[in-house]
Amino acid sequence: MELTKIKKQIIAFNVLGIALVSCGGVPEEKSATATEEKAFSVEEVLEMVAKENDVTRTLYTKAIVGKGKKQGMKFDEDWRKDDVEAGPLPALFLRGVATSIRKGPVPLGLYLGSDFPVNAANKFEGKQAELFDQIKKDQKPQFFYDEDQKLHTAMFADLASAGACVSCHNDHPQTTKSDWKLGDVMGATTWQYPKDSLTYKETVAVLNSYAKGTVDIYMEYLDEIEAFKESEKPEIGNKWPEEGNYLPTAEVFLDSVRKLASYETMKQLVASK
């Protein structure tokens, strides 16, 4: 009699257990790409996107800021303020790209720093300061794994690639160094990504998120121009500031970036196949 009761209890317990686990749980969120082959190491991808960044920033600094200034266009750190009718300085253009990336689904981090920044809050410290010393010596990228945040981190030299970089930083009222020369390592970009290797699809997503960031911040600049009350608004179309008071549309700007950067990037993407 007692044995039957225990048997019944065991059966009831098992039935309850099976009922609990048999209805089908929440589908596991396996990444859609989990079964896809990893095509690139995180270092390779960050080098690719850093190269795109170099081209984009150089184009913006030379063709928009440098030539634009000659046409009377203004660029300012307070460009977002309502009473300032100006565009973003190159460092803030990069900050805008970084902000846009963080709003998207790609877990890519992008930062800019220096040992002589205009804004003291952008001065490297700790591990980044150590690695930046090495970058200044050989201009080679530096990679490390950020244990605290569990992020793969890369640093790339940010060079004075245009006359406007040198003149603006040397003449800036808050500058901490006024003898910058063309070609100097003025700072470094820091990039972060959580995985050690990426599929082809993830790699393209990283590159696209950077390109989208470029378009977003450039569009914000064009929106600011639209709201100018006192300054003369440049004509926005296919022409560049080199030809007069013109600015390219976001599409024209991005097209030029792609023409300049895509060969190198494509070579790497295709080589992996």
60, with CB counted inside 10 A (0-12, 13-18, 19+), is buried
Under rule CB under 8 A, residue 2 binds other proteins: no
What mask of x and - would describe binding to other proteins in positions 11 to 30, judged by CB under 8 A?
---------xx-xxxxxxx-
Between 51 and 80, CB nearer to other proteins: 80
Choice from 48, 65, 73, 98 touching other proteins (CB under 8 A): 98
d(CA 232, CA 112): 31
Check: CB of residue 42 under 8 Å from CB of residue 197.
Answer: yes
* Residue number, 62 or 212, with CB nearest to other proteins: 212
- Contact status: 1 vs other proteins (CB under 8 A): no
* Complex with other proteins: residue 149 or 272, whichever CB lies closer: 149
Q: Which is nearer to other proteins, 151 or 185 (CB)?
A: 151
Which alpha helices (H) appear in the chain, and where do they start and end?
2-22, 42-59, 67-70, 90-103, 126-138, 163-171, 200-226, 250-271
Q: How far apart are CA 119 and CA 95, in angstroms?
A: 13
Quote the CA–CA distance of 213 and 206 in Å, as a whole number.
Answer: 11
Q: How many CB atoms lie within 10 A of CB 129?
A: 12
Instruction: Find the binding residues for other proteins in span 61-80 (CB under 8 A).
Output: 80
Residues near other proteins (CB under 8 A) are 20-21, 23-29, 80, 82, 96, 98-99, 102-103, 109, 111, 113, 120-121, 123-129, 146, 148-149, 151, 153, 173-174, 176, 190, 192, 220
